[in-house]
Amino acid sequence: MSGARLKAAALLSVALLALAGLLDSGFLGSGPDSQERARARSMLSSALEELSKEPAVRYRGALPGSPTTTVDARVTSSGVALGTAQLGRARVRLLTVDRKRFLRADAAFWSGQGVFQPSLARTYARRWVQIGPRAVPALAALRTPAQLSTWLRTTADPDAAEASDAHVDGARA
């Protein structure tokens, strides 16, 4: 793993571990003391600030709210996304440029989407097809590094955070 990838993975790990601490804090009825909260808040804030500056993020796995949709895609800081997705039984390629979404899939996929003329479905299968924002709602979960950082920040409750030192590939994050 390259140094930049390791750093990005470490930053995201610290942010996610801090979030996990947030979700778990108070679980036993006792919250962290103010010094631990301040340390956790600082760690989370630093990790999210660094994450927001990353040139890209990679998403790999199931998308929220859609157990049949998995994705392997990269989203750059400028919003360009490129990758693949498994939408139910169909495997598609996805591309986002200038806030426009495109899919490339086989004729069977397009036929299943309501393209009933076989010749049109074959035509679609040979090119990138622009789709509307509601066509594949789960893809809205793909965010730029800055958007992901903001989403994680607004999801977290810094007053409930617990500090945790994270390790990624054996290195302290």
Domain locations along the chain? 3-55+148-172, 57-144
88-137 residue pLDDT tens: 888 999 999 998 999 999 999 999 888 889 999 999 999 999 998 888 77
Number of neighbours of residue 25 by Cβ within 10 angstroms: 19
Name which residue leads in pLDDT, 90 or 41. Answer: 90
Residue with token string 């996610």: 16
pTM confidence score:
0.70
Instruction: Look over the chain and give the mean of its residue pLDDT values, rounded to a whole number.
Output: 78
Q: Determine the residue type at 4.
A: A
Q: What's the pLDDT score for residue 136?
A: 77
* Confidence (pLDDT) at 43: 87
d(CA 86, CA 76): 21
Confidence grade of residue 164 (pLDDT, cut at 50, 70, 90): low
Q: What is the DSSP string of the chain?
A: --HHHHHHHHHHHHHHHHHHHHHHTTTTS-PPPHHHHHHHHHHHHHHHHHHHT-SEEEEEEEETTEEEEEEEEEEETTS-EEEEEEETTEEEEEEEETTEEEEE--HHHHHHTT---HHHHHHHHTS-EEE-TTTSGGGGG---HHHHHHHHHHH--GGG------EETTEE-
Cα of 151 vs its chain's centroid, Å? 10
